Amino acid sequence: MTKVELKGLSQSKLEAFFAEIGERPFRAKQLMKWLYFRFERDFDKMTDLSVPLRKKLQDSCQITDLELKKKLHSRDGASKFLFVLPDGEYVESVLIPDNHRLTACLSTQVGCPLGCTFCATGNMGFARNLEAFEILGQFDFMARLMHPDRMITNVVFMGMGEPLLNTGNVLETIQILNSELGFEIGARKITLSTIGIPDQIEKLAQMGLKVRLAISLNAAEQTLRDKLMPGANKYPIKTLIKPITHYAQNSGRWVTMEYVMLDGINDSPENANQLVALVKDLPIKVNLIEYNTVPGIEYQPSPFKNMVFFQAYLLENQITATIRKSKGQEIAGACGQLRTQIMQEK
């Protein structure tokens, strides 16, 4: 008999599960406190559950932790984790300190189907979606590692994969991260990064989701964006305007446009002008990102002076723009690099 995986089930799903086995819904709250407050895995130690219920859970349920394959630590403080999933696949996560913040970067798929040409994950192909317990398990592992010395304050879905091609499991994870019975991460401290899938963004807007939304744009001109991000050609830039606007209106938060700066590719004055023309009337801000080079991929980071010029041009045109420096460069910090290394070794 296949056991029920309890990690990654939202409160409502846990309540439904307990109802199915003849238990009252409040058992969901008790279990969540054991799982996420006390990091307990042994049903026998969940002492506010009755002995018969503990036996029932032991026989029919499981709580699966991810296995750590490799951990690397960078001089700038970032740590990268390579996890082995139950089926033997690998997935990456990163823990990034920044003054008072500690950010967990989570993956949502094994590989990625979108094929972005500058991305290590995009070049490895796609294996499968992650289950909710596998997405949450990345955070859970890092939270247990840091506890009690330091709490994770922020979460970004910017690791391997496209979150909005695995929306159901990502939303389950967000519910638990945000819940007072889970990890109590505020919605404004959770960022979901996507290439931009219009119908899914509309769905999130209609749900009233309050997390921060980031669109991986990287070029404001369609032909160049298609070259950099072949999988995004199904979702033309012009089709993103309406759902982005709706999401900003419904969530009360501006949307971030992420723009990875590539030397000689998308960092010219003309590229900056194209970006201004696209976003000048939208409720957005722009995050200019330093490219983290990937062995075997020809792209190089834009010189910092180009990034500063690009930012200044946006600011002159009343567009909020920031520059984000990459971390973890000496530990294969870019998305997908560590998994690629391990697969090549195998």
Instruction: Please list the active-site residues.
Output: 92, 335
Residue type, 229: M
What are the phi and psi torsion angles at 96 (to 5°)?
A: -125, 110
Helix (H, G, I), strand (E, B) or coil at 223: helix
- Evaluate whether 262 touches 291 at the Cβ level (below 8 Å): yes
Instruction: With H, G, I as helix, E, B as strand and everything else as coil, classify residue 143.
Output: helix
- In angstroms, rounded to a whole number, what is the distance separating the alpha carbons of residues 16 and 192? 27
Who contacts 194 (Cβ-Cβ below 8 Å, separation ≥6)? 162, 163, 164, 200, 201, 213, 214, 215, 216
φ, ψ for residue 222, nearest 5 deg:
-60, -45
Chain center to CA of 278: 25
Single-letter amino acid, residue 160: M
**Which structure tokens are listed for 25?**
């819904």
DSSP assignment letter at 135: H
